[in-house]
Amino acid sequence: MQLDAMLRYTEADSLVIVGNRIKAQELALGEGAAVLITGGFDTEEYIKQLADEKQLPIISTSYDTFTVAAMINRAIYDQLIKKEIVYVGDIFTSYDESFYLTARDTIADWYRLNDQSGHTRFPVVDDKKRVIGMVTSKDIVGKANDVHIEKVMSKDPQVVQAKTSLASVSHLMVWEGIEVVPVVDQAHELQGIISRQDVLKALQQIQKQPQVGETINDIVARNLTHTEDSEIVFETEVTPQMTNQLGTLSNGVFTTLITEASSRLLQYYKKGDLVVENLSVFFIKPVQIDSKITIKPKLLEAGRVYAKLDVEVLTGRKVVGKGLIMAQLIDR
């Protein structure tokens, strides 16, 4: 590239990657750009003096220009893959906006809060606003309106703090079957609440981030397509990245394929989102690179909060893998 053409791409606060082209280095520094010299070359003294005057760095590396650019791109991409960690404190409903009851309140107060908020679950606090229980619609069924909340509430409820991760609280809600969790501080005082809906909305928002790089799971899921068969069947092509040194689908890829296919099957039947609780793989046989494989998930049993699925992976009519999934369901 000629210097006048290079000038169009050089701007202040950028980084120019160049070899031992002294004039190009001088031009970059003049425009306010830092310089990374590839190939292990040094530069002239007057270039170093210019860099000192501009308070700009000059970096030298033994790698060639292409390798340096590839390394920088890889580092940036790795950072994009690391999705920003979301904490409870980022999405919970604060204390001022949430509804709660005290131990001395009555069931009549529960009905009053229910009418105001439309919620059916409320944290119960003591005189110091410390969480001591939870009360739900199931707890008050058949009870007189003048019965105190402390008589019907569930004691020592599960709580989280603002620094609890979204992944942790979502795991807690699914495995414990909890719809609402109180958020407390170090002194156990109520700060607010977080609901399952809050968690689902945050998870969906994370998946929509356009700046996030793709992981191998994202790539495998993206290439999984639905066939035109009457039954729910999916296809994908085997790429070298999907196999191990033995020529079989790698464990992680196989797990992703059958889990993603099962999740799409449940969504087709409007059963909700899937969270795998147990996965058993019966066998895996070698598959050829560039071959087409078919994934056939079958719903064996489904309840309100759980599902059992059998999944076959085939090449043509030959079964190359099989798995059994036990999962919990989250309503959308």
Structure tokens at 65: 């220009």
pLDDT for position 172: 85
Strands 234-237 and 225-226 come out as: antiparallel
Using pLDDT thresholds of 50, 70 and 90, give the confidence band for residue 229: low
Fold that domain 3-81 belongs to in CATH: 3.40.1390
List the domain boundaries for the chain: 3-81, 88-204, 216-330
Convert the pLDDT of each residue in 110-120 to its tens digit: 999 889 888 88
Using pLDDT thresholds of 50, 70 and 90, give the confidence band for residue 80: low
- 88-204 classified as CATH 3.40.470.10: no
Convert the pLDDT of each residue in 178-199 to its tens digit: 888 999 999 999 999 998 888 8
Using pLDDT thresholds of 50, 70 and 90, give the confidence band for residue 164: very high
Determine the average pLDDT of the residues in 39-54: 92
Question: Angle between the 166-176 and 196-207 helix axes, to the nearest 10 degrees?
Answer: 130
**Collapsed DSSP state (helix, strand, coil) of residue 8:** coil
Using pLDDT thresholds of 50, 70 and 90, give the confidence band for residue 235: very high
Q: Give the predicted TM-score (pTM) of the model.
A: 0.51
Convert the pLDDT of each residue in 200-215 to its tens digit: 888 777 665 555 556 6
- Report the alpha-carbon distance of residue 31 to residue 177 in Å, rounded: 60
Convert the pLDDT of each residue in 117-154 to its tens digit: 888 889 999 988 999 999 999 999 889 999 999 999 99
Any residues with CB less than 8 A from the CB of 134 and at least 6 apart, and which? 121, 122, 123, 124, 153, 154, 157, 180, 182
The sign of the torsion formed by the CA atoms of 211, 214, 219, 224 equals: negative
**Collapsed DSSP state (helix, strand, coil) of residue 140:** helix
Determine the average pLDDT of the residues in 269-287: 81
- 216-330 classified as CATH 3.10.310.30: no
Any residues with CB less than 8 A from the CB of 329 and at least 6 apart, and which? 266, 271, 272, 273, 274, 275, 302, 304, 305, 306, 307
Share of the chain above pLDDT 90, in %: 38
Any residues with CB less than 8 A from the CB of 52 and at least 6 apart, and which? none
